[in-house]
């Protein structure tokens, strides 16, 4: 049965909400873990069991075309962009499982572990130039370029080349496309960047054809599932999804995680002195400081979840962050406790068939990045009062504009 009264409202653009959305999530969850919001025209999901039930149920789709309010006029007119959506594994469910099977191989723990030298080299390149100054802006100097460089090098773009620089600029522009605050001019620029990025990816694929190399693209060009390899359009969409899924999320998790550790010196001490806690620290920081707000789903038929009737075509805004701070599953949920153990910590990366493809890579990148800053920058501290930190206005990701830090050089 649907709750008749709307839940307490919140504004994803309110700086206080962005800095810490958990108090608002707790209020909404106390109203109902699945609550219909007239204002957002969607179910707001903040409970952990409810999140899992929805994420694991194939009757909920990621495709906006399944939404009752879908407006076909917002679909891209541009042919290349339309093909991008049609060939995306997240948007096209008939393609999803085949593409995932192919690409999963490259993201298994054993394949990802081989990337550690590349990840560490990339971190050295970014952090070491700052060392003599004793100051670092973690956002601009490290977190921003770090995951994009890793992905571009994984797909075989030459390190420190002009093309690598352009790839980073275009990836940044493309991510901005998701902000509803863009002016018409900014949106056109972002769309032009999207076009250029797709062309660049296409060109890199072309260069890989027939010349096998030891990188992700060569592996994807050769791999097949059920006797079928990836088409050119599927491959372009896939690389594009890796950029969208794997750059901002990792960069912002890292920045928010470092800030949260600096707020909790007892936990930082544990991190430094008990190496066996490092992998759970990565997950606990993601749980408490999740870098995003909502994942979306659309009911493809009438479905009942936890006694709530969700009608076909209705939209759901599912907060992974809220679910992972549900006190029914995590006692004292807002407290950072890197000794916390539990299978549930995995669920910061989603669940079910859309479970994060890059989870192993993200964990490796984050643990290497935390080790680099916490182990090698002595006496690390904020260079400004926390009240001066500013968050970006963006409904998709929680991100700081800058995180100025000082350390003993």
- For ligand HEM, the binding residues (CB under 6 A) are 55, 62, 89-90, 100, 151, 241-242, 245-246, 249-250, 253, 286, 291, 295, 320, 348-350, 354, 356-358, 361-362
Nearest to 256, CA basis, from 295, 284, 279, 294 = 284
86 or 128: CB nearest ligand HEM: 86
The answer to whether the beta carbons of residues 271 and 370 sit under 8 Å apart is yes
Q: Centre a 10 Å sphere on the Cβ of residue 133 and count the other Cβ atoms it contains.
A: 10
Nearest to 252, CA basis, from 166, 148, 169, 344 = 148
Which token pair is 272?
Answer: 């430094």
Residues 6+ apart with CB under 8 A from 271: 261, 277, 278, 281, 338, 370, 374
107 or 374: CB nearest ligand HEM: 107
190 or 323: CB nearest ligand HEM: 323
Q: Read off the DSSP letter of residue 88.
A: -
Q: How far apart are CA 24 and CA 8, in angstroms?
A: 8
Q: How far is the CB of 248 from ligand HEM (least distance, A)?
A: 9
Q: How far apart are CA 347 and CA 55, in angstroms?
A: 10
Q: How far is the CB of 346 from ligand HEM (least distance, A)?
A: 11
Q: How far is the CB of 245 from ligand HEM (least distance, A)?
A: 3
165 or 245: CB nearest ligand HEM: 245
Q: How far is the CB of 84 from ligand HEM (least distance, A)?
A: 14
The answer to whether the beta carbons of residues 151 and 246 sit under 8 Å apart is yes
| Alpha-helix runs per DSSP H in 155-231 | 162-176, 184-208, 216-222
Q: How far is the CB of 38 from ligand HEM (least distance, A)?
A: 24
Per-residue b/e over 351-368, b at no fewer than 16 CB within 10 Å? beebebbbbbbbbbbbbb
The answer to whether the beta carbons of residues 61 and 298 sit under 8 Å apart is yes
55 or 197: CB nearest ligand HEM: 55
12 or 350: CB nearest ligand HEM: 350
Q: How far is the CB of 249 from ligand HEM (least distance, A)?
A: 4
Q: How far is the CB of 44 from ligand HEM (least distance, A)?
A: 15
Q: How far is the CB of 265 from ligand HEM (least distance, A)?
A: 23
Distance of alpha carbon 100 from the chain centroid: 17
Ramachandran class of 99: left when φ > 0, alpha when ψ lies in -120 to 50, beta otherwise: alpha
Q: How far apart are CA 130 and CA 239, in angstroms?
A: 31
Provide the β-strand partners of residue 36.
43
Q: How far is the CB of 185 from ligand HEM (least distance, A)?
A: 30
Residues 6+ apart with CB under 8 A from 119: 150, 364, 365, 368
Q: How far is the CB of 293 from ligand HEM (least distance, A)?
A: 11
**Nearest residue to the partner ligand HEM, using Cβ:** 358
101 or 188: CB nearest ligand HEM: 101
Q: How far apart are CA 286 and CA 394, in angstroms?
A: 19
139 or 362: CB nearest ligand HEM: 362
Q: How far apart are CA 334 and CA 338, in angstroms?
A: 12
296 or 376: CB nearest ligand HEM: 296
7 or 350: CB nearest ligand HEM: 350
């Amino acid at each position: 049965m649907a709750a008749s009264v709307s839940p307490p409202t919140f504004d994803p653009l309110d700086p206080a909400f962005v800095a810490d959305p958990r108090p608002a999530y707790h209020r909404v969850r106390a109203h109902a873990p699945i609550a219909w919001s007239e204002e957002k025209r969607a179910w707001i999901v903040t409970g952990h069991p409810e999140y899992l039930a929805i994420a694991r149920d194939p009757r909920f789709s990621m495709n906006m075309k399944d939404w009752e309010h879908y407006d076909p006029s917002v679909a891209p007119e541009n042919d290349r962009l339309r093909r991008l959506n049609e060939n995306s594994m997240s948007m096209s469910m008939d393609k999803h499982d085949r593409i995932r099977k192919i690409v999963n191989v490259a993201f298994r723990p054993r394949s990802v572990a081989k990337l550690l030298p590349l990840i560490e080299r990339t971190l050295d390149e970014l952090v070491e130039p700052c060392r003599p100054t004793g100051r670092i802006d973690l956002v601009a100097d490290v977190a921003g370029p770090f995951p994009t460089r890793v992905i571009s090098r994984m797909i075989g773009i030459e390190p420190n080349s002009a093309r690598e620089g352009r790839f980073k600029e275009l990836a940044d522009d493309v991510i901005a496309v998701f902000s509803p605050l863009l002016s018409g001019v900014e949106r056109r620029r972002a769309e032009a960047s999207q076009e250029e990025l797709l062309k660049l990816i296409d060109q890199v694929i072309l260069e890989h054809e027939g010349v096998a190399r030891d990188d992700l693209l060569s592996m994807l060009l050769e791999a097949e599932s059920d006797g079928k390899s990836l088409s050119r359009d599927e491959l372009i969409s896939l690389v594009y999804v890796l950029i969208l899924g794997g750059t901002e999320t990792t960069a912002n998790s890292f920045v928010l995680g470092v800030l949260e550790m600096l707020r909790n010196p007892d936990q930082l001490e544990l991190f430094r002195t008990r190496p066996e806690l490092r992998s759970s620290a990565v997950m606990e920081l993601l749980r408490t400081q999740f870098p995003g707000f909502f994942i979306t789903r659309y009911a493809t038929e009438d479905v009942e979840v936890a006694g709530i009737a969700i009608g076909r075509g209705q939209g759901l805004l599912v907060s992974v962050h809220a679910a992972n701070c549900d006190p029914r599953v995590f006692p004292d949920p807002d407290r950072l406790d890197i000794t916390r153990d539990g299978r549930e910590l995995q669920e910061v990366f989603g669940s079910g068939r859309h479970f994060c493809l890059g989870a192993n890579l993200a964990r490796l990148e984050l643990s290497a990045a935390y080790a680099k800053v916490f182990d090698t920058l002595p006496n690390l501290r904020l260079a400004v009062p926390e009240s001066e930190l500013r968050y970006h206005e963006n409904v998709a990701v929680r991100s700081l504009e800058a995180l100025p830090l000082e350390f003993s050089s």
